[in-house]
Amino acid sequence: MTSYRQPGVVLTDRTFTVPLDHDRPDGESIELYAREAVASDKAGESLPWLLYLEGGPGFGARRFIGRQAWLGRALKEFRVLLLDQRGTGRSTPANRQTLPLRGGPREQADYLAHFRADAIVRDCETIRRRLTGGAPWTVLGQSFGGFCVTHYLCAAPEGLRTALITGGLPSIDAHADEVYRAAYPRIQRKVEAHYARYPQDADRARRIAEHLVARGPFTLADGYRLTVEAFQSLGILLGVDDGGHRLHYLLENAFVPTAQGPELSDAFLEEARGMLSYAGHPLYAVLHEAIYAQDDRPTGWAAERVRAEFPQFQAEQSLAAAAPFLFTGESVHPWLFDADPCLSPLRETAELLAQRTDWPRLYDAERLARNQVPVAAAVYHDDMYVDTAHSLATARQIRGLRTWVTDEFEHDGVRAGGPRVLDRLLGLARGEL
């Protein structure tokens, strides 16, 4: 272990070896990385543990500097473990460079089938027993991390002292089709709200889309193919606190005058490339719909299929009809594996995962109805990424769960309003509020 300091915090790098398949403990193993954080003035104390599970799938734990966001509040009473979930961050990586070591697409898909919430929770239990001496810990799950916490309540509630969820109460039984059928109207509301705030962006977005249809696709510096559909997917920004402002500033400088007429600027194309690339989180695309998969029904590119039910999102049709240009949101489509060079080698692997029919069930409604763990969840009103109605339906199925429903924050409220959000959830879970 290596320890080092940032302002007000002592950090320690930790690694753990766990089975790839927990049902085969003597088989292949992988390595997990986690960063321990403790307040400088409490470093020598025996403190309860708080485990943080990042959103995603496919993102490593957030890299804080000092006591940023919610971490400062947590460090007042906890020793915090920031886990890079399997395949992410400094844990054994899973990407276009490493997955060919597994073999072909079939072997890669079989490998990645072990990278969902069920395996992550079993990783957490393995780590907990080694780290806490068997004592239960508090777990904070953001977005997909909340999906993992919900599974934790079903699979290993004895490991939990308290469960805290922010923007991540999943539907217990909705198929991916239902998830996206609820999502597209919500995305449209977010786009319309953005145009109400920044009316000039409606024309700017349309001009860019028309340019891409007429002159595109544009091949960017790293080989990314910027199509009108890829441009639409920038709407994912509208689900986070500052995302609409970032999108506005991107759009306002899109064109420059040239000898051939207006062209998309190098600055716009480079910034868009950075926002669109999956280089740092490929599992987000490869496994995204798999996080909803249960039993024998394949996801089958649900976002793409369901989109056909909402023709207002068909870019070229809306442009031809002079209808508002609609961005899309948190959805993964087959074309993405042609557009992004970091994903294109994984296209066949993703296809096999989309057609897979042997997914284990993630949630146990009967066990949730008997829950004894104190649970509190922040549910963001009209959350772009996780359907509020689905979250509230699940909240009613978890015995003793207390919700805080708010429209003060977007999906990333634990980052934007972190100390207050965490404080509120702890108060609810402890019966202090």
SS3 300: coil
Phi, psi of 332 (to 5 degrees): -115, 135
Q: Give catalytic status of residue 358 as yes or no.
A: yes
Tokens in use for 370? 């008997």
List C-alpha distances in Å: 426 to 48, 145, 375. Answer: 14, 17, 9
What's the CA gap between 229 and 316, in Å, rounded? 9
Tokens in use for 209? 């889309």
Instruction: Select which of 118, 201, 411, 412 is catalytic.
Output: 411
Q: Are 83 and 32 in contact (CB under 8 A)?
A: yes
Q: Which amino acid is at 248?
A: H
SS3 163: strand
Kind of pairing between the strands at 160-166 and 218-219 = unpaired
What's the CA gap between 148 and 118, in Å, rounded? 7
What's the CA gap between 412 and 118, in Å, rounded? 24
What's the CA gap between 299 and 225, in Å, rounded? 25
List C-alpha distances in Å: 96 to 50, 63, 308, 342. Answer: 33, 23, 30, 6
Instruction: Select which of 91, 143, 277, 331 is catalytic.
Output: 143
Q: How many CB atoms lie within 10 A of CB 204?
A: 19
Instruction: Select which of 23, 26, 296, 358 is catalytic.
Output: 358
What's the CA gap between 231 and 270, in Å, rounded? 13
Contacts of 226 (CB under 8 A, 6+ apart): 212, 216, 217, 218, 219, 220, 269, 272, 273, 276, 339
Q: Give catalytic status of residue 143 as yes or no.
A: yes
What's the CA gap between 393 and 134, in Å, rounded? 33
What's the CA gap between 348 and 340, in Å, rounded? 14
Looking at the DSSP bridge assignments, the partners of residue 404 are 378
Tokens in use for 321? 């009809």
Q: Are 87 and 283 in contact (CB under 8 A)?
A: yes
Instruction: Report DSSP state, residue 81.
Output: E
List C-alpha distances in Å: 268 to 200, 208, 242, 255, 265. Answer: 17, 11, 18, 8, 5
Catalytic positions, written as ranges: 143, 358, 411
